[in-house]
Amino acid sequence: MISAAASTLLSQTALSLLSNGGSFKKTLKTLGSKQSLCTLGMNVASAGILCGIGVPGQPLGFEEHLYKNVANTAVSGGCSAIQGEKLEFKQLALGIAVNTVGGMIANRLGQQGHYDGELDYVSHKALHTLLGGAMGAGIVRRQ
C-alpha cells in the first residue's frame, strides 16, 4: 500500500508540474485538492483490497489484471458516488476492459525491454508512452 501511495504521488506530481508549466506553487495547490486526495485514497484502498484477496502488487495474467481493475473501479466508483457524481456503467466497464488489456500489453513490453533485451531503452519507453496514450484515448468519454 505504501508503494501505491508513493506511485500515485509521483504520478500526480509529474502530471501536475507539466500541466502547470513547472509552477511548484500551482502543483502543490493541485496536489492538495479534493480530487487528488481522493485519488490517493482510492489507490491505497484498492491496493489494500487487492492484497486482501491475494492479487499481487504487480499483476501478471489476465485474471489478476481483471481483479485489479475491477477493484480499482469499485473503489473509485464508490468515491465518485460519495461525491455525488453520476456513475455510468458503460464507461466503468470500458475502463476495466481497456486497463486490463493495457496492463497485459505493458507487462509484455516490460518483459521484452527489461528482461529479454529485445527492445532498446528508448524504444521500450516510447512503446509504453504510446500504449498509455492509446489507453487514454480508449477510455475518454465521447460527447
The predicted-structure confidence for 37-81, as pLDDT tens digits, reads as follows: 887 887 788 778 778 877 777 788 899 899 888 888 887 788 778
Mean pLDDT of the chain: 82
Q: Where are the beta strands (DSSP E) in the chain?
A: none
User: Which pLDDT score, from 0 to 100, does residue 98 have?
Assistant: 92
User: Which pLDDT score, from 0 to 100, does residue 45 have?
Assistant: 80
Q: How confident is the model at residue 86 (pLDDT cuts 50, 70, 90)?
A: confident
**Maximum CA extent, the chain:** 48
Q: How confident is the model at residue 96 (pLDDT cuts 50, 70, 90)?
A: very high
**Is residue 143's pLDDT more than 70?**
no
User: Which pLDDT score, from 0 to 100, does residue 27 have?
Assistant: 87
- Grid cell digits, residue 102: 493495457
**Is residue 121's pLDDT more than 90?**
no
Find, among 86, 60, 63, the residue nearest to 141 by Cα: 86
User: Which pLDDT score, from 0 to 100, does residue 142 have?
Assistant: 55
Find, among 107, 52, 101, the residue nearest to 74 by Cα: 52
What is this structure's pTM? Answer: 0.67
- Grid cell digits, residue 92: 466503468
Averaged pLDDT for residues 83-87: 83
